[in-house]
Structure 1
Amino acid sequence: MSWLTDNDPVPGDAKSCDAIEHVIIPRARDLGGFEVRRALPSAKRQMVGPFIFFDQMGPAQFLSGQGIDVRPHPHIGLATVTYLFDGEMMHRDSLGSALSIRPGEVNLMTAGRGIVHSERTAPELRTAGQRLFGIQSWMALPKSHEEDAPTFAHHAVADLPRFEGEGKRVRLIIGSLFGKTSPAAFPHDCFYAEAVLAPGAVLPLDPDYDERAVFIASGRIDIAGQSFDTGELLVFKPGDRISILAETNARLMLLGGEPMEGPRHIWWNFVSSSKERIAEAKNDWRQGHFASVPGDDTEFIPLPENN
């Protein structure tokens, strides 16, 4: 797919919202003053490409002394992707990784056969207070990679391909889109990008992948004459070329990919093609068989009671 300007012809655009398969409105949850909106999985759709979990974190304003404390917890069978619009978080994991993530950067943690991590507000930021706003997503690994060794990769702002012009700015986070490929590697054909649009800007989305979606992090957009607002996840049918018109300043997350080779089971922080593998992971966490997180090993999130 090429990068198009507003004046380029757009043959084959969807002329009605028949191109949209689902409109998912995430349910907001208040976690003690910190709002989370979960779009995936939902009753309407479990996955879009490899994306099986999609949370909008915030926006929230933490006062002095406040912050995020996600205690150490395990994952298997997935990759977590943290992407921030505002604020900063400290990531630590059982591989020994200890790194802050800031807006426009990418933390890609591939759990494979098992990893433990925590995400917290650093002490110096907790003292000053900060605004936090971003996206936490999980990508199910292909069956061939579910038991790979865990890895962690951080990509700086300058590492990620960026397209800008005609009132739109797109940063490619993972995969391939608009003829570019991100250095953040994932073993399945997919795409994940942030798009920031000025009012009146038009962003095309070709049917290069069978499964595509747009999450409206802020603002309002028009598709084929119908308006959609902040917080909605639009899942498109395959085969239609989509044109997204920004009615206001808008920030979007573009995501999708080829269908996975089969369904996935998801329970708590575990994803797998096998129910038996998830049962094994439950027992491993209960018995303390996962590795600990260096520098953050005095507490952890226990296995949920409904196990």
Structure 2
Amino acid sequence: MQLTRTQTARVHSRRSLTDVQIQVLFIAPTIILLVLWNIFPLFYSLYLSFTEFSVIKPDVPPAWIGLQNYNKLLSDPRIWQYFTLTGRYVVTTVALQAIVGFGLALFLRERFKGSGLITTLILIPIMMSPVVIGLFWKLIYNPAFGIFNYLIGYSVPNSGPDWLGEGSRALWAIIIVDVWMWSPFVMLLCLSGLKAIPDYLYEAAAIDRASPWFQFWRITLPQVAPLLLIAILFRTIEAFKTFDLVMGLTGGGPGDATELIAVHLYRAAFTRFTTGESSALAYIILVIVIAVSNLYVRSLNRIRGENH
């Protein structure tokens, strides 16, 4: 029996897939893989945080101990010392990066001869590996042959201080490197915001004889504030997780002068192999980062609401 043209079209439409179904078939395997890749370790580490377990003792199953790991960590004065040190590091580095990055963006806002080359050179640090940068700056800080002491005024380099060997200076040495490395990232976001400000706003302000300072506070800063806050959010999250730069420069020393919380987490997990305790510490850090991020997001939403 032959089918009519209409019946044939209906059968064909039933057998064929729509564009949405084809997209789902192509995307679904990747999404499932990513979910399994991320969700399983997340929940498994959460379970381990309530147990006494060591990864180097696979024959000993995890023993459920409830909140003991969390109580032990939160009652340990050293943990609060590392959190305080990390907080000082985060606040100082992010603040300096915001100031330096925004200042560079203002400087490079107007195109001039060589501005493209200068922008490219400034962006080089964020293209390099933090471990390589750490080793590179370790040579620069070297009191015997490094050039850092010479650059800050010591005519003979080995007559200056040992920046990585003195506890009072080691943290500042890492901060300087972090600011040098990530200020270009803040500059890039701020520069995109500055380029998007309409010229007529400044033209109207000039007609009203507004001073440059007034234009900065009433036009430039409010327009760039959302992107600046996004840059600060990203850098705050990353600063809490700073590990490779510290290990490349000081290894957490001298003593524990630069033992940031991420470095301490590494030691707990992969030196002492206290897997359950280190999982609990990781979740404490996660809760703090989420709380801080929510504050930034609320401020960002408030700024966007005021601009609209």
TM-score for both structures, normalised by structure 2: 0.20
Larger radius of gyration: 2
User: By percentage of residues, which structure has more strand?
Assistant: 1
User: By percentage of residues, which structure has more helix?
Assistant: 2
